[in-house]
Amino acid sequence: MKFTDSPVIELPVGDGVLSLHQDNGSMHVGTSVWPCSLILVKFAERWAQTPPETPNPYTHLLNFAGKRAVELGCGCGVAGMGLYLLGLTDLVLTDIAPVMPALKRNLKVNKPLLRKNLKYSILYWNNASQINALNPPFDLVIAADVVYIEDSVPQLISAMENLLAENGVVLLGYQLRDPEAHTRFWEDCHRVFDVEKVPHDHLHPEYAYEETDVYLLRKKKKQ
């Protein structure tokens, strides 16, 4: 896999190709396409398309039928759109207000492939009213490349916890961006969630590299 700063990135998903427009000159990181979103989609695609006779450790996770999903820090909408093409039907894409124009542009460009208008909403992770307005809980919380500012970590963990159903799963694409944010995130994360790291050889062989991982987070069971 080769990452690029090209204004347009094409991502094949299923029988279609997402056209992802990005603006690397923007002051907002959410207007760029980040590696973890691509890796997350292709991980899901790899196992969602496994023949029935092949052992699949992610059968239940990637059976999207009837599940509600929300993406945090969706940016250009890559992960959410990709998973929608793999079977998600009830999905809300969320990010901060300045990123909305980039998201809307990508949704418009890809509408012929998506065949519908996907739902989106402004969400600041520390805004309880915005979280409640999304009508949680969700079966699946999607997040890719969202850990890079230490001060935002508690808000992110809290949002994940408040949005996720008791038996739900956070599907997290992760790359170390900032050492302080990294340390704090995993310290806080282990207090709230049971953490499962997807083996690296389970990622899509053409969309993986050693610095990027996929994690599955589930709420710790109450004693």
Query: What is the CB neighbour count within 10 angstroms for residue 51?
Result: 6
Domain spans in the chain, listed from the N-terminal domain onward: 8-219
What is the pTM (predicted TM-score) of this model? 0.93
Query: What is the CATH topology of the domain spanning 8-219?
Result: Rossmann fold (3.40.50)
CA 203 to CA 142: how far, in whole Å?
A: 16
Parallel/antiparallel/unpaired status of strands 193-197 and 212-219: antiparallel
Per-residue pLDDT of the chain (223 residues; tens, 9 = 90+): 445 566 888 999 988 999 988 765 555 556 678 789 999 999 999 998 888 888 899 988 998 989 999 999 999 899 999 999 999 989 999 999 999 999 999 999 999 999 999 999 999 999 999 999 999 999 999 999 999 899 999 999 999 999 999 999 999 999 998 999 999 999 999 999 999 999 999 999 998 878 899 999 999 987 6
Question: What b/e string do you get for 135-165 counting C-beta neighbours within 10 Å, with b at 16 or more?
Answer: ebbbbbbbbbbbbbeeebbeebbbbbbebbe
CA 144 to CA 159: how far, in whole Å?
A: 14
Write the CA distances from 129 to 126, 147, 220, integer angstroms: 9, 23, 25
CA 194 to CA 218: how far, in whole Å?
A: 5
Percent helix, percent strand, percent coil in the chain, to nearest 5: 35, 25, 40
